Structure 1
């Protein structure tokens, strides 16, 4: 339970949400289905990151044939590929640096297409405005039958791009997107299509390239240049979205490790992933070079977009039930109206499957396999460590073993295991019979919330016997939080460790001084805040618990000083002296150096496993693990202070 969560009063909606949550939590089949549905949509969005730049740039560049009819489609394709390569080459600069020109270009673009639409409407046929009458939709389907239904596969391209707006939430707030979409984008695009419809009433034979043919001669070249710039910006938004969603998927252990570079100090969500950037560039170039036509790419694009929209509608309905506690009536209307429209469009675009529509499906299957296999092995790895965690007897035997050398400095041993000591630890002791003066078992956990406040990031527990100075530390991040550089992380961890030691010693001594009232807070040097009862994933924080060493985990909100007025006599003096001695010891060991210990775990399937499991774990997962970044790179661990410990787990 974190401060991001809120207390809710009991209600029928809350009871309904809890019932659904219990059903999902108690059904392995529902969990797997929900997981597969989610990574399918995620994979489609990543595939959209390949198709959007290809179709946007190719369609914009194709307009040059209006003024240079001698250019072949192959030459147009080469020009498009050059622009795509340049687009992906500047990604390393970050949206914060290349994005200053975005707003002016987009405003000019929408002003141009909206103005041209008004011009065409007035010049050719104002009566096309009658098409707003829903009666003409019915007449259209009666007149054209199956062809009208098939044409919806092309109509859906008029609304593509809206599915990518989530990417901009990392750059702008919700209100800015709502206002810009409603006041600028929607009117301008509507006027553009209305103007083209008016133009087609006079020149129906030019339906294949209406946009460029309907542009007044004097505005052609300015519109052409701005169209290319706008297509680049549209591609940029989708590429940024792919980076963002892969970063979040990686944080939830659903994507292999990749290097995430934060390109902006002002906007938290702006990231760049070099490996993904080059993979997208190669894929975009291949798609553009192979298909060459916006028609075939459009068939693939339509399927990807509508699938994402339909799955999003289903997941939003689930969020409305479980999180927003929305009325059943509104949820039903939402699913029937929005979901029904999307289902109709999906049925239409699926008719284009063999004409290029198979591409996003193929990409999604490959990405789903990657994400599913990575998550499956990650879960198996965690369960193995949980089942083989080190017993308390081993730690006590270790404390009594005089052959174990204590090394100066602080050791940080990384493990997925939240509770208990990972099996890599005795393996390390067996190979190198030594322990750092202070050893912290660090577990980095990504939680299904966007951000974790800094004062709630670290959870500590001391492992008995205390003279070993072994600690467990859970470091919690939201899926939008970024990991600190090594120096900043070490300072934060040691600072919170000293606060924990301060608080824990007072609790163990039975001194109530850490638990002060707000009125007393001004009298303390540290300003200790009362702890609150909370739990998160089996991690417990206890209110002044004296049996802390038996397994409770305490997070301190103190700043390291004692409240001298809260107790009197020798007992208080002894407690204060112990606090000062322990915190000085930790600080002294930090100054001697921090060493990172990381398990180099090799995952293999048991010999008795099925052929499929052996293929997945021993072949596919191993290939992915070796070709993506290792754990120390993903966690920004400095190589000069890293010690890897090899071990093999059979799952």
Structure 2
């Protein structure tokens, strides 16, 4: 049996690798379209001379080597939480350690961690993860706009008189891309994978063609040319770092997509195809610049032999559509994790593949991304204007990922300081200068990702704080379950036949709908099941471990049931009903009644927990969240909602 599985995996590996090319490497794979263009022809351009060309190429080579290959491919992708990647996966790995660190029986390593960092810093780790996630969201808004726009601008090179159609064509392409999302990443990856393979082969071929004409460009592999570049350009050279960083902006999307593909397929796709092709193309463009030809327009297109220019513009447009897909897929994954971890309200999640749990489509997020991307294209109208905004979000997220990875490696995996600290310093040695160079561009457009990140962080922290306060209100207003059971024994209460399921966050307290049903209609179901749905620290929970039953009082017919789901799964009542067959209390979906609470939020008469504008935001989010019956897939004909007023 094991041999058969191994053979199947071997057969599927090439197909999985090609599919991963179509989803994971689209963003970073299209960076040659605009990186050197912005370095030598952008608003902060430097002169085209051997020192600058070799210096910029050296920076690109070592950035791809250290940040993408060493940091992400070799190290960060190891920090998967049961196969899932992304900033919230790092947070999930740290969550158990943070909880254990507050216990009195801490081990010496955990005590030393608290002495080193302090409790406040531990509390700040979730917010650091939130900031990283919010910056990746910002990157997901900008990437589709700049990628597709930069490719379509090739039309202006072929036919300058047709430049007026660049913006409308970009908008049409982006609109069609977002409309395709409902088909899922399996179908999209199957279509995009071969195209992306052709794209990388074309990058390598064009690069090699130009390198053979000027092989001296390969000297740029030596880091001494990067040092000479800074010595010659001083402050201007540092500013241009904010443009060089465009070559690595797909690193975070690569990590976020870890749940869609195996680590092996992502590693092999990078080392065997993507990385060699990118380096060859960058060095090919550099060879063109060293060859003495004047820079007439984008060096990427100038490096293409004239007979191949039109096919290359078409292929580049298709590749940039795929680049957009990499970020869209990563944003979907992060959103579902944020919902299940309690940072965002419930929203519709569509699983697009019956075989792959991680392949999802979120209509609300898809619509918001589409509106944002189209707005950016219509406002900025060219890739040069967007380039100033691009990179800040990516470098900020990368720096935070480095810090979170250090925490995981040191305190969860117990790596030695002699390994963890040098790695952190190596990563930050590259990332902090990139971040500083991008901060200089805040006025030129860098404010855009910062504003988007601030808005997203505000939304997530408002929702988290509001839900935590409502939970406290429920606990203050609810009687202990033991007191309810005592009153049920002592006071004669009408019992209606059937099973009543009351969803609750705390099984030691009486759910508000249960207490209200006694007060209002003076009756309770014959069988009472208090159902809690918990989000586990793992992305997925096996079906056989899904449901746990605890009998509170069999004579009174009161049971407590817990259904556990991973943070990448959507809780489903039909699934819970099926899994409950393994316990002594089966919950028949269409023969049970579900009692749910309907919350009405009122302004607190005491000192308010939130400012009025923030309370209004929370109420807006709460009113627009999917209701529990829809989110948990409960038959509407079996639902009874009981209202509750809660102060905020």
Taking structure 2 as the reference length, the TM-score comes to 0.80
Higher relative helix content: 2
In structure 1, distance between residues paired with 2:131 and 2:474? 29
Tell me which of 576, 583, 594 is aligned to 1:497.
Answer: 583
In structure 1, distance between residues paired with 2:117 and 2:235? 44
Given the alignment of the two structures, is residue 371 of structure 1 paired with residue 456 of structure 2, yes or no? Answer: no
* Superposition RMSD in Å: 2.4
Tell me which of 368, 378, 384 is aligned to 1:279.
Answer: 368
Report matched runs for 1:300-339 at 5 Å.
300-339=389-428
Q: Deviations over 1:475-512 (max 9, x none)?
A: 1112123323x33321222x1431xxxxxxxxxxxxxx
* Aligned position for 2:103: none
Residues 135 and 268 of structure 1, relative CA distance in 2, 3 Å threshold: same
* Aligned position for 2:77: none
* Aligned position for 1:480: 568
Given the alignment of the two structures, is residue 638 of structure 1 paired with residue 632 of structure 2, yes or no? Answer: no
Report the CA distance between 1:54 and its aligned residue.
0.7
Contact 2:478 2:509 in 1 (8 A): yes
* Aligned position for 2:593: 595
In structure 2, distance between residues paired with 1:592 and 1:637? 9
Report matched runs for 1:367-446 at 5 Å.
367-391=456-480, 392-402=482-492, 404-446=493-535
Kindly name which structure, 1 or 2, has the bigger radius of gyration based on alpha carbons. Answer: 1
Contact 1:386 1:422 in 2 (8 A): no
* Aligned position for 1:648: 645
Report matched runs for 1:490-569 at 5 Å.
490-493=577-580, 495-498=581-584
Contact 1:409 1:590 in 2 (8 A): no
The 3-state SS of whatever aligns with 1:417 is coil
In structure 2, distance between residues paired with 1:415 and 1:376? 19
Report matched runs for 1:186-197 at 5 Å.
186-197=275-286
* Aligned position for 2:251: 162
Residues 102 and 24 of structure 1, relative CA distance in 2, 3 Å threshold: farther
In structure 2, distance between residues paired with 1:144 and 1:332? 31
Q: Which has the bigger relative contact order, CA under 8 A and spacing at least 6? A: 2
Tell me which of 60, 63, 66 is aligned to 2:151.
Answer: 60
In structure 1, distance between residues paired with 2:178 and 2:240? 33
Contact 1:17 1:321 in 2 (8 A): no
Contact 1:17 1:323 in 2 (8 A): no
* Aligned position for 1:44: 135
Residues 168 and 405 of structure 1, relative CA distance in 2, 3 Å threshold: same
In structure 2, distance between residues paired with 1:171 and 1:211? 31
Larger CA deviation: 414-423 vs 318-327: 414-423
Given the alignment of the two structures, is residue 114 of structure 1 paired with residue 200 of structure 2, yes or no? Answer: no
Report matched runs for 1:118-267 at 5 Å.
118-123=208-213, 125-203=214-292, 205-206=294-295, 208-267=297-356
Tell me which of 187, 211, 236 is aligned to 1:97.
Answer: 187
Contact 1:40 1:368 in 2 (8 A): yes
* Aligned position for 1:552: none
* Aligned position for 1:362: 451
The 3-state SS of whatever aligns with 1:474 is strand
* Aligned position for 1:555: none
* Structure 1: gaps spanning 5 or more residues: 9-13, 499-585
Larger CA deviation: 375-384 vs 278-287: 375-384
Larger CA deviation: 138-147 vs 390-399: 390-399
Tell me which of 165, 169, 181 is aligned to 1:79.
Answer: 169
In structure 2, distance between residues paired with 1:451 and 1:457? 10
Larger CA deviation: 215-224 vs 173-182: 215-224
Given the alignment of the two structures, is residue 471 of structure 1 paired with residue 468 of structure 2, yes or no? Answer: no
Report the CA distance between 1:245 and its aligned residue.
0.6
In structure 2, distance between residues paired with 1:336 and 1:614? 43
Report the CA distance between 1:176 and its aligned residue.
0.9
How many residues in Structure 1 have an aligned counterpart in Structure 2? 547
Given the alignment of the two structures, is residue 628 of structure 1 paired with residue 628 of structure 2, yes or no? Answer: no
* Aligned position for 1:510: none
In structure 2, distance between residues paired with 1:204 and 1:222? 23
Q: Deviations over 1:421-448 (max 9, x none)?
A: 2334211221222222222111111122
The 3-state SS of whatever aligns with 2:510 is coil
Contact 1:414 1:441 in 2 (8 A): yes
* Aligned position for 2:5: none
Q: Deviations over 1:11-54 (max 9, x none)?
A: xxx94542266679983x33442222111111111111111111
In structure 1, distance between residues paired with 2:335 and 2:314? 32
Contact 1:409 1:592 in 2 (8 A): no
Taking structure 1 as the reference length, the TM-score comes to 0.80
Contact 2:507 2:530 in 1 (8 A): no
Contact 2:500 2:592 in 1 (8 A): yes
In structure 2, distance between residues paired with 1:242 and 1:376? 23
Residues 460 and 279 of structure 1, relative CA distance in 2, 3 Å threshold: same
Larger CA deviation: 246-255 vs 294-303: 294-303
Contact 2:140 2:331 in 1 (8 A): yes
In structure 1, distance between residues paired with 2:116 and 2:611? 26
Report matched runs for 1:581-592 at 5 Å.
590=588
* Aligned position for 1:501: none
* Structure 2: gaps spanning 5 or more residues: 1-80, 83-92, 98-105
Q: Deviations over 1:223-276 (max 9, x none)?
A: 222211111112112101111110011001001111111111111101111011
Contact 2:598 2:644 in 1 (8 A): yes
Larger CA deviation: 83-92 vs 200-209: 200-209
In structure 2, distance between residues paired with 1:207 and 1:354? 28
Tell me which of 385, 395, 401 is aligned to 1:296.
Answer: 385
Contact 1:243 1:272 in 2 (8 A): yes
Residues 136 and 592 of structure 1, relative CA distance in 2, 3 Å threshold: closer
The 3-state SS of whatever aligns with 1:356 is helix
The 3-state SS of whatever aligns with 2:161 is coil
Residues 628 and 191 of structure 1, relative CA distance in 2, 3 Å threshold: same
